[in-house]
Amino acid sequence: MKVALLAPRIWNTIFLDQARAWVRQGHEVAVYTEDDRGDSGRRFTRLRDDGIEFWIIHGTRRHPLLALADRFAKPWLGRRFFTTLWAVIRFLQANRNADAVFAEGDSIGLYAAIARRFFTFRWMVTLHDTLYLPIALDYPGRPQGGWQARAKMWVLHSADWVRANSPVTRDALLEAGVAADKLRLVPLHIPGWMGMDAVADLTTWRCSCRESLFRHLGLATDARLLVTMSRLTPVKGLELAIEALAACGRSDTVLLICGGDRDVPGLGSYRCHLQALADRLGIGSQVRFAGEVPIEEVKKTLAAADLHLAPSLMDTFNYAVIEAALVQTPSLMSDKVGAGPWIAELGGGEILAGRDAGQWSARIATNLDSPPDLAGLSARCTSRFQVDTIAANLLSATASRN
């Protein structure tokens, strides 16, 4: 089978893992990408690596003959719309014998949708966020846009298939009006850097992580630690984590909020907003902010925790609950966490419907007082989200015709 993949900045992403898996399975793979490995915005740099044929244009340079049009359209369409469109069309024409084309995100999918008006190919777009999706979702700073919403929906309607990376994403797409027969439910996979192969003894390693982080935070050895691991944006619903901690009434418990601060329109610093809420509820000293956690430290931080909280208003997938399961830390999740149903099915956590702080505090207390037995969870999670299996499932999802 020949596969064409549209994935800007593919190096060090899950999409490269996916392409490599297809090659291992005997498929021919061509990738369009944008990267500084490319020589120009006009001509492709062709590179063959790991059995993948890369078609690369420079990450920022414009096509010299399209630069004027790019500059004129920049306020509405981004800094080099026409350069990218011309490159994507040329790539797809050159690979028009591909059995399936995959566009990783509706932004790059826009170019595929336009190209489809000129020649025929079968293609799938993956939705990675709900920005501008016309659904009943509101939070401070959520982008509102008429033409952006229409463009997003046009891309989704134009594709032969739309990959929903979780049941939450699928339900959002259905609510937005995407036809059910277009949808293909295929989760994301565990990337190589997230794996647990380097950890020989999980129990010993977890103890070491806990001792190190508690020492860094200055916590007593008998303290209890709750962790959130996400971008600091209102869609993550972190107010509920603070309210639930306050409702617990436990002075021995600390909430560590991980993630870099964001400035939210109409709200200002989200970190300051959360700290002010904690202060008003009388638990200011029990809420800590870790800032942006380096990728290599995420697992260690989650392993040190008694419980991971994911109270999101909307999460299309949420790798944090996957990573928590890999280190065998339980997650308490809202019913809007994309990967939540799979993690709950694996025995790695619990889903709570609604946003009642009292209900969340009760479940937090139960998890702290009677920790669940998570033996074997890491192996089960690794097996469920294995890249070769997911990559094969993704190709199988294109086998049925609409």
Q: pLDDT tens-digit profile of 82-120?
A: 999 999 999 999 999 999 999 999 999 999 999 999 999
Can you tell me which residue has the tokens 């900045």? Answer: 9
Length of the chain counted residue by residue: 402
2-189+386-396 matches 192-384 in fold: yes
Name 257's Cβ contacts closer than 8 Å, sequence gap at least 6.
228, 232, 238, 241, 271, 274, 287, 288, 289, 290
- Over range 202-216, report the average pLDDT: 97
Instruction: Give backbone dihedrals phi and psi of 328, rounded to 5 degrees, phi first.
Output: 65, 40
| 227, pLDDT greater than 60 | yes
Whole-number pLDDT of residue 144: 76
Whole-number pLDDT of residue 266: 87
Instruction: Give backbone dihedrals phi and psi of 40, rounded to 5 degrees, phi first.
Output: -155, 175
Task: List 163's β-bridge partners, or say none.
Answer: 126, 184
Mean pLDDT taken over the chain: 95
CA 391 vs CA 21, 92, 314: distances in Å: 6, 21, 25
Of the candidate ranges 134-148, 360-374, 383-397, the one whose mean pLDDT is the lowest? 134-148
Amino acid at the residue 237: G
| 401, pLDDT greater than 60 | no
Identify the helix (H) or strand (E) that includes residue 255.
strand 253-258
Cβ proximity of 100 and 124 under 8 Å: yes
> Count of alpha carbons within 13 Å of 240, Cβ hemisphere only?
24
Cα separation, 173 vs 233, whole angstroms: 22
Q: 39-55 b/e with 16+ CB inside 10 Å = b?
A: eebbebeeeeeeebbbb
Whole-number pLDDT of residue 402: 46
Burial (CB < 10 A; 0-12, 13-18, 19+), residue 206, is buried
Cβ proximity of 111 and 6 under 8 Å: yes
Domain boundaries, the chain: 2-189+386-396, 192-384
Cβ proximity of 72 and 62 under 8 Å: no
Instruction: Give backbone dihedrals phi and psi of 57, rounded to 5 degrees, phi first.
Output: -110, 155
| 212, pLDDT greater than 90 | yes
- Give the percent of the chain with pLDDT over 90: 94
Cα separation, 79 vs 400, whole angstroms: 37
Cα separation, 279 vs 274, whole angstroms: 9
- Over range 218-224, report the average pLDDT: 96
Q: pLDDT tens-digit profile of 354-366?
A: 999 999 999 999 9
CATH architecture of 192-384: 3-Layer(aba) Sandwich (3.40)
- Over range 134-163, report the average pLDDT: 92
**DSSP conformational letter for 61:** P
Q: pLDDT tens-digit profile of 367-381?
A: 999 999 999 999 999
- What DSSP string describes 290-347? EESPPGGGHHHHHHH-SEEEE--S-BSS-HHHHHHHHTT--EEEETTBTTHHHHHHTT
Cα separation, 200 vs 321, whole angstroms: 22
| Annotation: CATH topology of 2-189+386-396 | Rossmann fold (3.40.50)
Give the closest residue to 5 by CA, choosing from 95, 85, 84.
95
Cβ atoms within 10 A of the Cβ of 117, count? 7
Identify the helix (H) or strand (E) that includes residue 45.
strand 45-49
Cα separation, 45 vs 42, whole angstroms: 10
Whole-number pLDDT of residue 146: 85
**DSSP conformational letter for 273:** H
What predicted TM-score, i.e. pTM, was given to this entire model?
0.93
